[in-house]
Structure 1
């Protein structure tokens, strides 16, 4: 194609960004007969969803699992992927949290929670008072403040803090409870108590008509070839229904035109469209929107993206004394270690490591210790080994290793986040035909991104 040429006639919709959100949006548009093109900078679609195989070692570079909820179940069913879905092993239900240098299992049953050292007498003394704690009158509260107010410092330090590290690689003192954990805040608002509300919702869910088979409900799932299979299948769906996917397409500029929008890539190719969707990270969106409107970029520039490295380590099974009989181990900040936590990948799913070996996927960096993600690959491996040796009883060195780096990993829903999104949406009202979507709003999980992409696609192509 000649430089500066137009690829074809005007599209109905162009989606920039081939991650989970962009793929889900483009899939709906294509299925509803819209002329849609998806432009992706990398050589493949999927964004942060990326599976990698090295011989018999198989790792996930980004997200490691999906949680089966009704929207995901329906999507997999529509794409004929349920038959390929791989449920996590039953042993992966157990979760460990580091406490005083030892991995302690989180309670899996209310009765077992009574003697669990992670909660302890201090934790229970606050938990039993939780139903009588008053609602907060503040418009916004930090996640740390919310949890400490309702459940006490012990639960914050030993349970919520490591959970936040595992999900956001974030700092609960900075995260907004309303933005990062809206369902938790809604329970307090609606029922006045997390315990009372949780029990009520559990009772209601058991009486409600099931939206999917019980054997799938809440299951952790992947695919034998990894989560990359999901991205691959979404791409196939887009193209099967007449959509166009253009990889290795580095978008340089977007411009408003009378009939819609013009998109130009780094090679001078031009696409024209009536509707434009930016399904990209906040930093990428800022670069494209900067010449257009500062009111769009200002809220996005306030969203922090700390670095996180994924350090995959393969061992001979006899070189680790811990049974690795769970999902993984999370490390609270009060343990004073740099590693945020580790997944027992070869326990969660079959086929992740050679026979007689095990695979551990650790994470380092994050909002509180971004400097921990600095250093060579060898230094990253050594730091993770230093942090995990005593926790897991690692006696030997890894026989295989891989370090994957995300310089801008997970968007942080910090205090003021909902206000940022409101400001952004108000600014968007001045730009007809432009939509912004991504994991920097309305949920960071893959399932959230898939659902948000679907909803946007349905809004742009109703009926």
Structure 2
């Protein structure tokens, strides 16, 4: 059996790695000269910048992968104060309580909202087709929870809009709690004894993870752009740019698409036009990432936490900011603080597309106001744009899932963040599961 994997982001790399461990022949094609996809790190003088994901939430698959890649010693643990997460409300920052019980004791929500939260255990479960995240939380916890907790959280995690994202594609675990226990709070209460998943980074930046995987692969082909997929007599043939090895003459038993949805659609126009049409409909939103540094003595607000999110109700410029130097102190000089701000997303796409100078100025002015910063100018600023960086799990994604299931008998698969969600650990888990599925089907091939 031979498998073609197209795209060397974290999903494609992890899939190739697990197939190689299982002894399955594969070829991994990447059109760019480097691997990693949206995982991008940059050392800019004394500043360690993460341009994509800023940290990883550990799960079993990721922990095992880091051990196998000999990256355990490079793992950076955050400071203890990183458990403190803040949300801006009425012009002030509130430290978010860590449990529903503490939330009911806090002043963050109005007493009517807290009463509704306390009565959630009495609500009957409901099955609502294509229920959005907002609809779910509004019916179980109330509109204030949607406005000041779910809205900023979804914007921070997915650059998304809870009014559009589907609950079962975004937070499937919460829906399962409602089904199994009749209540989200009852289910969460039973899970309190489970260990929390730590957040980590890597000494040389998160991009060292995809680079470490790539260094182990025996059949990785960089600067090889696949232009078309052909299927004939149950086999796949690829049209490949810069094909000096003659790989376009090879037959593949299976193909795995590990590309952004629209790039995947272009490849599949001829082979699978139905899936291609669905992939063209996948929604992507722009996001701009801005890093800003100030002298520590110029910042009047104590940065003791992970960072702060900004609800849309507050009319912010940015979605929020990670307090990068408080989370991982080595990201900037010791006498400075480093913020990572996120602009745009589904709720304000036009902000991400403003001229760079205007974005930098507005981020600086917002940070000055929010954190009582006395400096007229930052010590350092850097801007990076993702024009189509984040796929959205909205109503259009269901067609993609259904069509992919129908195409599995033809050995056409997908392994990408528009399928699993943007979290790197979820991409790694899905890649491992898909590798096992492909391996288990080997006997059906001669």
TM score, norm. by length of structure 1: 0.90
Larger RCO (CA under 8 A, 6+ residues apart): 1
Match of residue 423, structure 2, among 442, 445, 449 = 445
Q: Conserved in 2, the CA contact under 8 Å of 1:103 and 1:392?
A: no
Deviations 1:298-345 (A, max 9, x none): 221222101001011111112211111111110000001121011011
Q: Distance in 1 between matches of 2:389 and 2:181?
A: 35
The residue aligned with 1:7 is none
Rounded to whole Å, the distance in 2 between the matches of 1:380 and 1:424 is 39
What's 2:381 paired with? 401
Indicate how the Cα distance of structure 1 residues 259 and 137 shifts in structure 2: closer, same or farther if over 3 A, else same: closer
| 1:255 corresponding residue in structure 2 | 230
CA distance in 1, matches of 2:95, 2:17: 41
Choose the corresponding residue for 2:259, options 276, 280, 292. 280
Tell me the residue number matched to 2:301.
322
Counterpart mapping for 1:145-164 below 5 A? 145-164=135-154
The aligned residue for residue 342 of structure 1 is 321
**Cα distance in 2 between the residues matched to 1:419 and 1:286:** 13
Partner of 2:220 in structure 1?
A: 245
Shifted more, 398-407 versus 253-262: the winner is: 253-262
Task: Give the deviation of 1:115 after TM superposition.
Answer: 4.3
CA deviation after TM superposition for structure 1 residue 109, in Å: 5.4
- What residue is the counterpart of 1:169 in the other structure? 159
The answer to whether the 8 Å contact 2:282/2:392 transfers is yes
Alpha-carbon distance in 2 for matches of 1:109, 1:301: 40
Mapped contact 1:122–1:154 kept (Cα < 8 A): no
Q: Is contact 1:176-1:417 (8 Å) kept? A: no
Cα distance in 2 between the residues matched to 1:280 and 1:139: 29
Task: Provide the residue aligned with 1:333 in structure 2.
Answer: 312
Structure 2 CA distance for aligned equivalents of residues 111 and 258 of structure 1: 61
Judged with a 3 Å threshold, the aligned counterparts in structure 2 of structure 1 residues 158 and 12 are, in CA distance, closer, same or farther, namely: same
Once the 2 structures are TM-superposed, how far is the Cα of residue 220 of structure 1 from its aligned partner?
Answer: 0.5
Identify the range of structure 1 (259-268 vs 389-398) with the bigger mean alpha-carbon deviation. Answer: 259-268
SS at match of 2:388: coil
Q: Separation in 1 of the partners of 2:221 and 2:347?
A: 37
Would you say how many aligned residue pairs link Structure 1 and Structure 2? 436
In 2 relative to 1, CA 429–460 (structure 1 residues): closer, same or farther, beyond 3 Å? closer
Query: Matches of 2:359 and 2:5 in 1, distance apart?
Result: 36
- Secondary structure class of the residue paired with 2:256: strand
Equivalent pair of 2:296/2:337 in contact (CA under 8 Å): yes
Shift of 1:444: 2.1
CA distance in 2, matches of 1:416, 1:278: 18
Partner residue, 1:231: 210
- The question of 1:366 aligning with 2:345 is answered yes
Instruction: Tell me how far apart the structure 2 counterparts of residues 263 and 420 of structure 1 sit (CA, whole Å).
Output: 22
| Rounded Cα–Cα distance in structure 2 between residues aligned with 1:352 and 1:51 | 11
Cα deviation for residue 276 of structure 1 reads: 1.6
Give the Cα–Cα distance (whole angstroms) in 1 for the partners of residues 388 and 357 of structure 2.
Answer: 21
Residue number in structure 2 paired with 1:5:
none
In the alignment, the residues of structure 2 paired with residue 33 and residue 420 of structure 1 have an alpha-carbon distance, to the nearest angstrom, of 30
Q: Distance in 2 between matches of 1:61 and 1:321?
A: 26
Q: Are positions 1:53 and 2:43 aligned together?
A: yes
- The 2-side partners of 1:387 and 1:100 are apart by 15
For 1:229 and 1:72, the matched residues in 2 are separated by: 14
Contact 1:98–1:391, Cα closer than 8 Å, also in 2: no
1:103-182 paired onto structure 2 within 5 Å: 103-108=93-98, 112-182=102-172
Q: Quick check: 2:323–2:338 contact (8 Å CA) kept in 1? A: yes
| Mean CA deviation greater in 152-161 or 432-441 | 432-441
Q: How far does residue 144 in structure 1 lie from its aligned partner after superposition?
A: 0.4
Provide the residue aligned with 2:85 in structure 1: 95
Relative distance call for 1:418 and 1:249 in structure 2 (3 A) is same
* CA distance 1:262–1:151, change in 2 (3 Å): same
Distance in 1 (alpha carbons) for counterparts of 2:225 and 2:378: 38
Gaps of 5+ in 2: none
8 Å Cα contact 1:299/1:421 also seen in 2: no
In the aligned structure 2, how far is the partner of 1:191 from the partner of 1:334? Answer: 32
SS of match in other structure, 2:137: helix
Are residue 415 (structure 1) and residue 395 (structure 2) matched?
yes
CA shift for structure 1 position 111: 6.0
C-alpha displacement of 1:263: 1.8
SS at match of 1:413: coil
Q: Secondary structure at the match of 2:417?
A: coil
After superposing on structure 2, the runs of 4+ consecutive aligned residues of structure 1 that deviate more than 6 Å are none
* Matches of 2:403 and 2:393, distance apart in 1: 15
Give 1:402 deviation, angstroms: 1.0
**Structure 1 position 32, deviation (Å):** 2.2
Please report how far the alpha carbon of residue 423 of structure 1 lies from its aligned counterpart in structure 2 after TM superposition. Answer: 3.0
